[in-house]
Structure 1
Amino acid sequence: MENLIVRVLSRKRPPAAVGYVVTLGLVLAVLLFEYMYRPALHRYLPFLPVVFVSALFFGRPAGLFATLLSAALGDDVIDLLRDGSAPQPTEMLFIVLYVSVGCATAWLIEALRSAVCKLLDAEAETSLLLDELAHRTRNDLMMISSVLNLQAMRQTDAHAREALESAVARVRVIAEAQERLRKSGKHGEVEVAAYLRALGHGLAELLRDVRPIRVRVLATPMFVDAPVAVSIGLIANELVTNAFKYAFPDGQGGTVQITLELTAAGVVLSVEDDGVGVPPSKKDGLGTRLVQLLASHLGGTVQAMPREYGHGVKVLLPIKPAAVVLTAVSTDG
């Protein structure tokens, strides 16, 4: 109902002549109804909805016209003119009260219309500014990513190159979130399934080199707040990067699957591979600590998933999405 009223108030009004004609028809229709059925309500009260509708759809002039016309055609005025008698104070008081209420209704609705139009204009301007900000932020982040990538390509030290490539991937995660935020059409919300698909494709291109490794994304489309989407993207980035780093040595190929699903406990993000598994001597590195920190920040938990082959990590985040869209979507990269 609220959205309907906002749409009516903000829409373009028809020509004034149309409003006057429709208002005249409504007043005459109510007058005819009164003479035919003689409602138990006071004879002026049925005209108030006409005043409201006229002011709502055709503006303040139509509402004032409906008020004055219905007051002039009401039985009290007609009886006074026919009898030639002096009006009683109570009759005059009610006529004045009715005209006052009708005029106030027309003025109030016009004020509401003006306020709604100003709010919608401000919202449109804010949306445009946020869109421009997200676009510029994304471009700046991609420029930083390109500079870091060039530095990584020039490095001869393997550890330094690996650190720079990790930094490139993390910056791209945030840049992609800004791009999704700009395209989402929702202030501060990102459709996380499409976001993860784009991240999976980008990570596959960045990390696999010539190895036949496929990144598969199976995600339930849902909208979440932008900071939450960035955290989910960073967690997925670190887990996929670890899988590429340890699961497929010596040029081996395989599949890394990113799964995002909604459960009663919250959102579950899992990353699994069919590689050689985690080396027994592997210690928690920066990426693993970052995953635990991000999950903890959202009140979630991280746990390993037992598998016969390969390795898997499941992250449970007790969050509620802003909206869930359609069904799960799968894609390969």
Structure 2
Amino acid sequence: MESLIIAVLSRKRPPAVLGYLVSIALVLAVAWLEHLFPSALHRYLPFLLVVFFVALFFGRPQGLLATLVSAALGDGVPDFMFTGRVPGPEEALFLVLFLVVGSAMALLIESLRSVVCKLMETQAETSLLLDELAHRTRNDLMMVASVLGLQAMRQTDPHARSALESAVARVRVIAEAQERLRKSGKHGKVEVASYLRALGHGLAELLRDVRPITVRVEASPMDLDASVAVSIGLMTNELVTNAFKYAFPEGRGGTVQIVLERAGEGIVLSVRDDGIGAPPARRDGLGTRLVRLLASHLGGRVEPVTVAQGHRVDVRLPVKPAAATPAVSAPSS
């Protein structure tokens, strides 16, 4: 009901002449119905609905006109117009009250219309500014990623090059989230399923070189806060990067699967590969520590899962997403 009233108030008004004609026609129709079927309510009450409708759809002048005409016809054609009988104190009081209430209703609805229109204009301006901000932020991040990428290409130290390439990947994760945020039309929200598919495709192209490795994404479409989506993107980036780094040595091929689904009161991000598995004595690197830090920041936990082949990590997050459409599965190669 609220959305309907806001939509009516913010719409373009019909021509004024049409409003006057409709106002008079509605008042006459109600007066005729009251004459045929005497109402159990007071004679002026049905006319208040007419005043409300007219003021809502046509504006203040039409609402005031409907109030005046309703006051004149509130008891059928007033007796004093034909017999000269002066209305009694009670009738006069009801007439004055109706004029006051009807006029106030028309004025208040007009004021409400003005406020709604200003809010709609402000919302449109804010939406445009946020869109421009997201676009500029994404461009700035891509510029930073390009500079880091050029610096990585000049490095002869493999450790320094690897660190810079990891930094490039992380910056691109945030830039992609900004782009999704800009295109979504839901400021502050990111549709995470399409975001992860784009992220998986980008990681596959960046990391696999000539190895026959496929990245698959299975995600339930859901809207998440931008900050949460960025954290999930960063965790996905680190887990997939670790899978490429350790699970498929010596040109070996395979599949990395990214799954994001609802689980109870939250969501679960799962990254699994069918490679050789994680080295048993490997110390947690920067990427693994970053995943644990991000999960802890969101109130979640990281759970390595034993599987028959390969390696799997589940990240459980107590995040309540907004529902969207059915789950989507898509390969990124």
Asked if TM exceeds 0.5, the reply is yes
Tell me, which stretches of 5 or more residues in structure 2 are unaligned? Answer: none
- Determine the structure 2 residue equivalent to 1:165: 165
- Determine the structure 1 residue equivalent to 2:323: 324
Q: Cα deviations across residues 38-60 of structure 1 (Å, max 9, x unaligned)?
A: 11211111100000000000001
What TM-score do you get using the length of structure 1 for normalisation? 0.98
* Counterparts of 1:39 and 1:235, CA distance in 2: 69
- Determine the structure 2 residue equivalent to 1:100: 100
Q: Cα deviations across residues 163-197 of structure 1 (Å, max 9, x unaligned)?
A: 00100000001000000000111120000000101
* Counterparts of 2:97 and 2:323, CA distance in 1: 52
* Counterparts of 1:39 and 1:62, CA distance in 2: 25
Letter of the 2:185 partner, please give it. G
Letter of the 2:220 partner, please give it. T
- Determine the structure 2 residue equivalent to 1:207: 207
- Determine the structure 1 residue equivalent to 2:280: 280
Q: After superposing the two structures, state which structure 1 stretch, 229-238 or 202-211, moved more.
A: 202-211
CA contact (8 A) 1:27 1:69 kept: yes
Tell me, which stretches of 5 or more residues in structure 1 are unaligned? Answer: none
CA contact (8 A) 2:47 2:74 kept: no
Q: What is the root-mean-square deviation in Å for CA atoms of aligned residues?
A: 1.0
Count of aligned positions: 332
* Counterparts of 1:324 and 1:255, CA distance in 2: 28
Q: Cα deviations across residues 209-262 of structure 1 (Å, max 9, x unaligned)?
A: 111111110100000000000000000000000001100111111110000001
Q: Cα deviations across residues 65-95 of structure 1 (Å, max 9, x unaligned)?
A: 1000111122287112223133322222211
Q: After superposing the two structures, state which structure 1 stretch, 222-231 or 68-77, moved more.
A: 68-77
Letter of the 1:26 partner, please give it. L
What TM-score do you get using the length of structure 2 for normalisation? 0.98
- Determine the structure 2 residue equivalent to 1:141: 141
Letter of the 1:329 partner, please give it. V
Identity within the alignment, %: 71
* Counterparts of 1:205 and 1:330, CA distance in 2: 18
Letter of the 2:323 partner, please give it. V
Matches within 5 A, 1:69-108: 69-75=69-75, 78-108=78-108
* Counterparts of 1:243 and 1:86, CA distance in 2: 94
- Determine the structure 1 residue equivalent to 2:253: 253
Matches within 5 A, 1:168-179: 168-179=168-179
Matches within 5 A, 1:178-217: 178-217=178-217
* Counterparts of 2:148 and 2:210, CA distance in 1: 22
Letter of the 1:330 partner, please give it. S
Secondary structure, aligned partner of 1:111: helix
Q: Cα deviations across residues 289-313 of structure 1 (Å, max 9, x unaligned)?
A: 1000000111111111111111000
CA contact (8 A) 1:71 1:77 kept: no
Secondary structure, aligned partner of 2:195: helix
Q: Cα deviations across residues 15-68 of structure 1 (Å, max 9, x unaligned)?
A: 011111111111111001111011121111110000000000000111001000
* Counterparts of 1:34 and 1:22, CA distance in 2: 18
Q: After superposing the two structures, state which structure 1 stretch, 67-76 or 164-173, moved more.
A: 67-76
* Counterparts of 1:41 and 1:54, CA distance in 2: 21
* Counterparts of 1:242 and 1:215, CA distance in 2: 13
- Determine the structure 1 residue equivalent to 2:23: 23
1:38 matches 2:38: yes
CA contact (8 A) 1:76 1:91 kept: no
Matches within 5 A, 1:120-139: 120-139=120-139
- Determine the structure 1 residue equivalent to 2:65: 65
Q: Cα deviations across residues 106-140 of structure 1 (Å, max 9, x unaligned)?
A: 00000000000000100010000000000000000
* Counterparts of 1:142 and 1:200, CA distance in 2: 18
* Counterparts of 1:317 and 1:73, CA distance in 2: 66
* Counterparts of 2:42 and 2:49, CA distance in 1: 14
* Counterparts of 1:258 and 1:85, CA distance in 2: 86
Letter of the 2:82 partner, please give it. R
* Counterparts of 1:77 and 1:24, CA distance in 2: 14
Runs (4+) of structure 1 moved beyond 4 Å? none
CA contact (8 A) 2:265 2:320 kept: no
Letter of the 2:116 partner, please give it. V
* Counterparts of 1:278 and 1:65, CA distance in 2: 80
Letter of the 1:331 partner, please give it. A
